[in-house]
Structure 1
Amino acid sequence: MRLRHPDGTTLHLGYCTNVHPAEDLAGVLGQLDDYAVPVRERLGTDVLGLGLWLAAPVAAELAADPATVRRLAAELRARGLEVVTLNGFPYRAFQAPVVKHAVYHPDWTTPERLDHTLRLAGILAGLLPDDAARGSISTLPLAWREPWDTERYDSCRRNLDDLAAGLAAVADRTGRTVRVAFEPEPGCVVETTADAVTWLSGVDTRRLGVCLDLAHLACAWEDPATALAGLHAAGLPVVKVQVSAALASADPAAEEQALRRYVEPRFLHQTRSRDGLATDDLTGALDRGPAGDPWRVHYHVPLHATPEPPLTSTVDVLRDALRSLVGGPAPVCDHLEVETYTWDVLPAGQRPRSAAGLAGGIAAELAFARDEVTALW
């Protein structure tokens, strides 16, 4: 969807397709008909934005054949769909039975991550609508925190320099600007916005910046206004925002059984408390024995639906962040992506039972995000 900020800026709001498991072009096209078109129709909008996830195999296929990129662009237009942003974080197999730490590989110390991201940039340049100001790609926060040393950092910095140069070459070749956004996430080298300032200092900010995932921001117990002020002071642009909410527990000891219903084998659910609890998965926090201090869990929950009581979500942080991001006289960022990829691993009573059910849930999330944003104006 396109939303018009009071200052005249077009805000692009869409949903991330990493909730779908397609790893080839036929699968990507199939998900457009199975999910994206029904979502657009439920919302009653002429154009729906997608934060397209292209796994490494299909990205390589598209990058090798410009005609295939043009075909994909035509298929999107024919369905009333548009793409201004790609989710380049998961490399492949993001809906495999077990993902966990595999999602952080290959990382930014490797040539594979650089090559994949530059392929995505070239593809996105060919998919952008003619009137889109620019494109964006979100990516992982350099690497998982271990191992991390000077040698790995130096490899990252060389790759980031080559990334900026490659993005400049894409702009020269296509006339389209594509920026890459590093997404702070619990457990990674760049876990917080302060870490982003530290580890991304000196990068080419014309091409590189930050993807602010609002669930991750909440799990880090960061105040949105303070976080944004720190990024602004450092000159790091917010290139993309993932409009997401994390699972929250006000009293983990009393709510232990409800929390255990969210334990599942596919994704990591890093758990953080304000007083210093930090585990790499929800099971680790539960095995320590829940205390009374509130927890926030890296478990993306549907924006519009309350988690199983007595648990809640971090929608309050989401609202505060949106107020700072798009509620002022000019928007801080114009690419907004709803990213709830956990529908299939929610507690059984909350999971969609069909493709139509998933499309309905995604549409409800987008309507929620749209209404939250426009209510600020």
Structure 2
Amino acid sequence: MRLRHADGSLLHLAYCSNVHPADDLDGVAAQLERYTARVRAKLDVPVLGIGLWVAAPALADAAAADRLASQLARLSLEVVTLNGFPYKAFHAPVVKRDVYWPHWAQEDRRQYTLGLARLLAKLLPDDVVEGSISTLPLGWREGWDDAAQDAALRALADLAVELEEIEAATGKRIRLALEPEPGCTVETIAQACDAIGGLAPDWIGVCLDACHLAVQFEDPVEAVALMAASDVAIVKTQVSSALRVPSPGTAEGRELLARFNEPKFLHQVRECVNSHVEGTDDLPEALEGGLPGEREWRVHFHVPVNSAEHTTQDELSATLAALAGGTAPLTRHFEVETYTWSVMRDAPQDDEGLVAGLAGELEWTRDRLVALGAEVLG
């Protein structure tokens, strides 16, 4: 979906396809037919954006990339951003910490990301010259040392050179966006600025995930100001919302948390204790006494962005205002990322229910951007 900011900039709104399981490019194309085209029809828009997740093994099939491009055109879909965080098997029965491997100190991560950049250069619409790829924030913190940090930063610098070569060859500018996440080597915006400030700023910036920002109790206005002061670009944003539990120690709070305690994904939990953010790496740890439970918990569980009850929707709205409410947008790629529909106890599990849910999230986000002064195109 395309919108025009008040300053004339083109904004792209999409949802992320990591909600759909697909291990190869033909599988991705099939999911576009099964779900995304129906979301577009439900929204009644001429073109719908889709932020693709493509597993590493799928990149080997060059012919399938051409078929995927044809499928996108046939279904009136467009791609300007890729989610390059999960490497593969994102819909395995148990994902948990596996999503953080390979990390940026391992060669496989750079090769995967380079493959994504080459694919995106092929898939970008003819009238769009800039694409974005979100990626993990270097790696998981445990076992990370100075040698890994140095290797990761060298890999990013090497990739920046390769991205410049892609632009020279194709005319398409692909930028990388590190996505701070609770529990990782880089879990806050301040840490992101420390890690990549001054490192190829034309090519490497941040993916601002609103769920992660809220879980860490970071203020979006302060985060945006810090990135500006550090010359770190907001390459894309993931429109997402976290679970909020105001009274986790009560019976009502425990009952609510139990509904989201599932075994597939990692659900980091944070609580402000004595003005300091404390946390656990997963929800079961928090429930077993890892946090005091005396104040509000925020849980890394992506919940539908159009849901206000027990969510950080207010923080998401504030993030969107910080990004798109000024005289110029601070990013032009907005990707709704609620990948947890299949593990939400009360969510519809049929195709029609998922299509309606995704369309509802995009409608809500579109309306927020319009309220901030943007105009829907088409």
Q: Map Cα deviations across residues 126-145 of structure 1 (whole Å, 9 max, x no partner).
A: 00001113000000000000
In structure 2, what is the equivalent of residue 278 of structure 1? 279
Q: Map Cα deviations across residues 86-138 of structure 1 (whole Å, 9 max, x no partner).
A: 00000011011100000000000010000000000000000000111300000
Alignment partners' CA distance in 1, 2:261 and 2:75: 37
Q: Is the 8 A contact 1:38 1:359 kept in 2?
A: yes
What are the residue-to-residue correspondences of 1:290-329 with 2, within 5 Å? 291-307=293-309, 312-329=310-327
Q: Is 1:4 paired with 2:4?
A: yes
Alignment partners' CA distance in 1, 2:115 and 2:26: 19
In structure 1, what is the equivalent of residue 155 of structure 2? 159
Shift in Å, 1:197: 0.9
In structure 2, what is the equivalent of residue 109 of structure 1? 105
Shift in Å, 1:74: 1.7
Q: Which runs of 4+ in 1 moved over 4 A?
A: none
Alignment partners' CA distance in 1, 2:329 and 2:9: 8
Residue 52 of structure 1: SS of its match in structure 2? strand
Alignment partners' CA distance in 2, 1:256 and 1:71: 48
Shift in Å, 1:290: 5.2
In structure 2, what is the equivalent of residue 90 of structure 1? 86
Residue 267 of structure 1: SS of its match in structure 2? coil
Q: Is 1:374 paired with 2:370?
A: yes
Which 5+ residue runs of structure 1 have no aligned equivalent?
Answer: none
Alignment partners' CA distance in 1, 2:199 and 2:53: 25
Residue 274 of structure 1: SS of its match in structure 2? strand
Q: Map Cα deviations across residues 10-67 of structure 1 (whole Å, 9 max, x no partner).
A: 1000000000110012211110111000000000101000000000111222xxx2x5
Alignment partners' CA distance in 2, 1:277 and 1:111: 33
In structure 2, what is the equivalent of residue 21 of structure 1? 21
Q: Name the amino acid aligned to 1:221.
A: F
Q: Is the 8 A contact 1:264 1:345 kept in 2?
A: yes
1:120 to 100, 116, 119: 116
Two-structure CA RMSD over aligned residues (Å): 1.1
Q: Is the 8 A contact 1:271 1:285 kept in 2?
A: yes
In structure 2, what is the equivalent of residue 265 of structure 1? 263
TM-score, normalising length from structure 1? 0.96
| Cα distance change on mapping 1:341 and 1:81 into 2, 3 Å | same
Q: Name the amino acid aligned to 2:306.
A: H
Alignment partners' CA distance in 2, 1:323 and 1:297: 23
Residue 243 of structure 2: SS of its match in structure 1? strand
Q: Name the amino acid aligned to 1:294.
A: E
Alignment partners' CA distance in 1, 2:102 and 2:96: 13
Q: Name the amino acid aligned to 2:301.
A: Y
Residue 49 of structure 2: SS of its match in structure 1? strand
Q: Map Cα deviations across residues 133-190 of structure 1 (whole Å, 9 max, x no partner).
A: 3000000000000111111111111101111011111111111100000000000011
In structure 1, what is the equivalent of residue 376 of structure 2? none
Identity %: 51
What are the residue-to-residue correspondences of 1:1-377 with 2, within 5 Å? 1-61=1-61, 65=62, 67-254=63-250, 255-275=253-273, 276-288=277-289, 291-307=293-309, 312-347=310-345, 350-377=346-373
Alignment partners' CA distance in 2, 1:291 and 1:68: 50
Q: Map Cα deviations across residues 265-314 of structure 1 (whole Å, 9 max, x no partner).
A: 0000000012233100011111106522111000000111345xxxx100
Q: Is the 8 A contact 1:205 1:236 kept in 2?
A: yes
Residue 313 of structure 1: SS of its match in structure 2? coil
Shift in Å, 1:257: 1.6
Which deviates more from structure 2 when the two are superposed, residues 146-155 or residues 106-115?
A: 146-155
Alignment partners' CA distance in 1, 2:328 and 2:307: 30
Alignment partners' CA distance in 1, 2:157 and 2:80: 23
Q: Is the 8 A contact 1:343 1:351 kept in 2?
A: yes
Shift in Å, 1:200: 1.1
Alignment partners' CA distance in 2, 1:176 and 1:291: 49
Q: Is the 8 A contact 1:256 1:290 kept in 2?
A: no
Q: Is the 8 A contact 1:252 1:290 kept in 2?
A: no
Residue 277 of structure 1: SS of its match in structure 2? strand
Alignment partners' CA distance in 2, 1:253 and 1:313: 17
Alignment partners' CA distance in 2, 1:305 and 1:201: 35
TM-score, normalising length from structure 2? 0.95
Shift in Å, 1:70: 2.9
Q: Name the amino acid aligned to 2:244.
A: A
Q: Is the 8 A contact 2:215 2:270 kept in 1?
A: yes
Q: Is the 8 A contact 2:83 2:133 kept in 1?
A: yes
Count of paired positions: 367
Residue 80 of structure 2: SS of its match in structure 1? strand
Residue 95 of structure 1: SS of its match in structure 2? coil
Shift in Å, 1:202: 2.6
Q: Map Cα deviations across residues 181-218 of structure 1 (whole Å, 9 max, x no partner).
A: 00000000110000001111331011110000000000
Q: Name the amino acid aligned to 2:286.
A: A
Q: Name the amino acid aligned to 1:59.
A: L
Residue 173 of structure 1: SS of its match in structure 2? helix
